[in-house]
């Protein structure tokens, strides 16, 4: 193993840098810019059982030290992903890919994950439990221990690949949610998803996005993300994938020192499509600066 090598749920990675879901498409778009095989892996666009057009526009807006988005899980549906997107990706990416899955009922999560579990290029299933539970009054699965655990159990019953549960930060106690997922059989957790935020345009006197509120991401949320990663990593024994405002090699090191086994990079990709490439290239220099021999020994250090 090299200096940058790590393992995620038993699957080796050349480095811990992972573009986050929703910021890297299905990969081949970025393959036109650089060789994406230098990545540890990437999490592809959030996929649901049925195609989704998403929310009305405007649905993305810049704000101080970040952005707000309410895209609404726009995606072509799992059948199209399997038939079209994955074969297209396989031509340019030769490593296991992380499949990000969203759903609005336990049954939908399980069905979508079961289909993706059969795909040889899928190495992990990253299950986003920040979606509203249509059978539970619209409350997010990720804000309730029991609801989160029910998704984990249903998905684990139909899959053989590692299941990583992506947690919402919009809770009062991230530790209880993380432990509930571990107890239900999750192989790992990833956090944080976006914070809930909004802005108002003073000229129009209306919210800047049509959905009124949306997910707030970018450098401004890094301290919150780091705190939650530290809390979760010290509460569970399964691997933690850290994300939220990561934009530099130093941010990656800080996340890993807090306990992350790997690190996802989100909004930075939308500002600079070469962000992950630059971070990976800068990691050895940053490690030398802080006397870090290998990344695997840094985790939780």
What is the per-residue pLDDT for 191?
A: 97
Low-confidence stretches of the chain (pLDDT < 50) are: none
Taken in order 301, 248, 96, 14, the sign of the CA dihedral is: negative
In a domain, 255, yes or no: yes
* CATH code for position 243: 3.20.20.70
What is the per-residue pLDDT for 140?
A: 85
In a domain, 294, yes or no: no
Contact (Cβ atoms closer than 8 angstroms) between residue 109 and residue 78: no
Tokens of 65: 């030290």
Sequence-distant (6+) residues with CB within 8 A of 193 are 128, 130, 142, 166, 167, 168, 169, 215
Write out the residue range of the structural domain in which residue 64 sits: 6-289
In a domain, 1, yes or no: no
Active site annotation includes 145: no
pLDDT per residue over 245-293, tens digit each?
Answer: 999 999 999 999 999 999 999 999 999 999 999 999 999 999 999 999 9
pLDDT per residue over 199-215, tens digit each?
Answer: 999 999 999 999 999 99
Tokens of 46: 């959030």
Q: Tokens 């749920």 map to which residue?
A: 9
In a domain, 118, yes or no: yes
What is the per-residue pLDDT for 168?
A: 93
What is the per-residue pLDDT for 99?
A: 98
In a domain, 172, yes or no: yes
In a domain, 273, yes or no: yes
Backbone angles phi, psi at 229, to 5 degrees: -60, -45
In a domain, 297, yes or no: no
Q: Is 146 left (phi over 0), alpha (psi -120 to 50) or beta?
A: alpha
Give me the helix-helix angle, 106-117 and 145-156, nearest 10°. Answer: 30
Distance, in Å, from the CA atom of 194 to the CA atom of 204, rounded to the nearest integer, reads: 26
- How many structural domains are present in the chain? 1
In a domain, 298, yes or no: no
DSSP per-residue string spanning the chain: --TT-EEETTEEESSSEEEPTTSSTTSHHHHTTS-GGGSS--BPPPB-SS-B--PPSP-EEEETTEEEE-----B--HHHIIIIIHHHHHTT--S-EEEEE--SSHHHHHHHHHHHHT-TTEEEEEEETTSB-TTTTT-BGGG-HHHHHHHHHHHHTT--S-EEEEPPS-SS-HHHHHHHHHHTT-SEEEE--PEEE--EETTTTEESSTTS-EEEESGGGHHHHHHHHHHHHTT-SS-EEE-SS--SHHHHHHHHHHT-SEEEE-THHHH-TTHHHHHHHHHHHHHHHTT-S-STTTTT-
Compute the C-alpha angle 260/265/268, nearest 5°.
Answer: 145
Span between the terminal Cα atoms of the chain, in Å: 19
Q: Given 9, 131, 181, 276, which residue is catalytic?
A: 131
Distance, in Å, from the CA atom of 78 to the CA atom of 119, rounded to the nearest integer, reads: 11
């Amino acid at each position: 193993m090299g200096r940058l090598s790590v393992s995620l749920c038993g699957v080796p990675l050349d480095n811990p840098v992972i573009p986050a879901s929703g910021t890297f498409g299905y990969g081949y778009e970025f393959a036109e810019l650089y060789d994406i095989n230098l990545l540890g892996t990437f999490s592809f666009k959030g996929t649901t059982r049925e195609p989704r057009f998403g929310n009305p526009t405007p649905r993305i807006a810049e704000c101080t030290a970040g952005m707000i988005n309410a895209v609404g899980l726009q995606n072509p549906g799992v059948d199209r992903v399997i038939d079209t997107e994955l074969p297209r990706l396989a031509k340019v990416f030769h490593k296991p890919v992380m499949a990000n899955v969203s759903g609005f009922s336990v049954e939908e999560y399980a069905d979508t994950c079961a289909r993706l579990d059969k795909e040889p290029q899928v190495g992990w299933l990253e299950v986003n439990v920040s979606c509203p539970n249509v059978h539970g009054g619209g409350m997010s699965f990720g804000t309730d221990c029991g609801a989160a655990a029910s998704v984990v159990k249903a998905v684990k019953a139909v899959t053989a690949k590692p299941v990583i549960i992506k947690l919402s930060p919009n809770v009062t106690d991230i530790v209880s949610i993380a432990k509930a997922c571990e107890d239900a059989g999750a192989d790992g957790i990833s956090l944080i998803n976006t914070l809930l935020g909004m802005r108002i345009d003073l000229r129009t006197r209306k919210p800047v996005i049509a959905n009124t509120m949306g997910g707030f991401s970018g450098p401004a949320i890094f301290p919150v993300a780091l705190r939650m990663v530290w809390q979760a990593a010290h509460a569970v024994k399964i691997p933690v994938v850290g994300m939220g405002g990561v934009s530099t090699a130093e941010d990656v090191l800080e996340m890993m020192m807090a306990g992350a086994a790997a690190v996802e990079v989100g909004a930075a990709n939308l500002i600079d499509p070469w962000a992950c490439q630059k971070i990976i290239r800068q990691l050895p220099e940053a490690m030398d600066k802080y006397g870090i021999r290998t990344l695997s020994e840094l985790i939780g250090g």
